[in-house]
Structure 1
Amino acid sequence: MLDAGCGTGASTLALARRHREAFVVGVDKSRARLEVGQRALACADDVANALLLRCDLVDLWLLAARAGMRFERQYLLYPNPWPKPEYVMRRWPGHPVLPAILACGGALELRTNWDVYALEWAEALRVAGREACVELLIPDGLTPFEAKYAASGHRLWRVESP
């Protein structure tokens, strides 16, 4: 499983605990955030199925797709990336790397507090020939973002594609 843009790896750790049968790789480009996650992972005696990796996601997806690597599930849990309209091509559903993301296979789950981002994902998946379900999310503690935005009264969204 891939936890794309995992930040401190809190979500990676939670996913590893929820899916003990899977190997969960959390990827982020921030050294500082991953150092926090590495300390948490080192203290988590009950988790042996997780790895935090520092790299650029575009490179990871392109290389993984080229190598024929497939994920069982891909999680994109960052709530609201690149919110300005002129940045639409920087958001994953409008980014040139989208075909590589989809080529890496598996179910895809996005969580966000931004309905526009959820709808962009659903439309991009539809155009790519994949089903997508957009629904309100009841926070379940998977990410610190969910707790933060739920506490401040934001509606949260989930996009799932089998």
Structure 2
Amino acid sequence: MTNSETVGDSKAIVTNQTGVHENLEKIVLKHLIHASQKPIQAHTQEAFNLVNERVQQHQGEIIFDSCCGVGQSTRLLAKMNPTALVIGVDKSAHRINRNDSVLVDQTNTHQVENFMLVRADLNDFYRLAVAAKWQVSKHYILYPNPWPKSKHIQRRWHGSAVFPEMLKLCNTLILRSNWRLYLEEFQFAASLAGKHGDITLVEDQQALTPFEAKYRASGQQCWQLLIK
């Protein structure tokens, strides 16, 4: 079985799972008890220090945009929340540093400056932000890599060692995916930590990310989990 198959211009998720992973509860409970001891990478510490300076100076709301890719969602969230500081983090320097004038034109964000795009390892960045007691009002995770094979459960955010820190970062978490099971698993994992939320269809007129636009154009449904 392959990981994906083409639907229009995009790919539909193909998985060998029929429901929530049978080992998810055991994995999450282990991570809730034993905090991640992974050493902080130097490039992430440096990136965090840079962002932290601006966070400490900012007087308004802080919004976090994980796995932001080229930053379309970061720009749009900043435009929609002009008094907030929106921080977009991605592991790819290529995506973060891409200066796409077409994207800026499409989103009409030429004058938007209340955001930062930074390359960092989120497994480290989350822990640094929690330790620094950032007051984050909303945390967006938009269309993360689903890792649909059952054997890759611990590569999904809710199966990772940093999952408890993700929940500590902010009370309001918005997660979107075109694979509803991913959201159901995350919802279940969060409930083990006392966090609860609802799954609904995404019905925004403007797509927040290029992936969201691509999924819609391919006739796929996009889902949102809101935990608050």
Give the match for residue 111 of structure 2.
46
Partners of 1:156 and 1:125 in 2: CA distance = 20
Matched positions, count: 161
Question: 2:136 is paired with a residue of what secondary structure?
Answer: coil
Partners of 1:80 and 1:153 in 2: CA distance = 19
Question: 1:72 is paired with a residue of what secondary structure?
Answer: strand
The runs of 5 or more residues in structure 1 that have no matched partner are: none
Give the match for residue 142 of structure 1.
208
- How far apart are residue 131 of structure 1 and its match? 1.6
- TM-score, normalising length: structure 1: 0.92
1:47-79, Cα deviation, whole Å (9 max, x unpaired) = 121000110001100111122223111000025
The runs of 5 or more residues in structure 2 that have no matched partner are: 1-62
**Higher RCO, 1 or 2 (CA under 8 Å, sep at least 6)?**
2
Give the match for residue 158 of structure 2.
93
Of 61, 78, 82, 2:143 maps to 78
Partners of 1:80 and 1:152 in 2: CA distance = 18
- Runs of 4+ deviating beyond 4 Å: 37-41
1:94-133 matched pairs, under 5 angstroms: 94-133=159-198
CA contact (8 A) 1:80 1:114 kept: no
Residue type of the alignment partner of 2:207: G
Q: Is residue 74 of structure 2 the alignment partner of residue 12 of structure 1?
A: yes
Q: Structure 1 residues 151 and 38 mapped into 2: Cα distance closer, same or farther (>3 Å)?
A: closer
- TM-score, normalising length: structure 2: 0.66
1:72-100, Cα deviation, whole Å (9 max, x unpaired) = 11000025432211111111111110111
Give the match for residue 44 of structure 2.
none
- How far apart are residue 106 of structure 1 and its match? 3.2
CA contact (8 A) 1:38 1:52 kept: no
- Kindly report the root-mean-square deviation, in angstroms, between the aligned alpha carbons of the 2 structures: 1.8
Question: 1:46 is paired with a residue of what secondary structure?
Answer: coil
CA contact (8 A) 2:74 2:87 kept: yes
Give the match for residue 220 of structure 2.
154
Q: Is residue 97 of structure 2 the alignment partner of residue 31 of structure 1?
A: no
CA contact (8 A) 1:10 1:37 kept: no
Question: 2:199 is paired with a residue of what secondary structure?
Answer: strand
Question: 2:220 is paired with a residue of what secondary structure?
Answer: coil
Deviates more, 1:122-131 or 1:31-40: 31-40
Deviates more, 1:75-84 or 1:4-13: 75-84
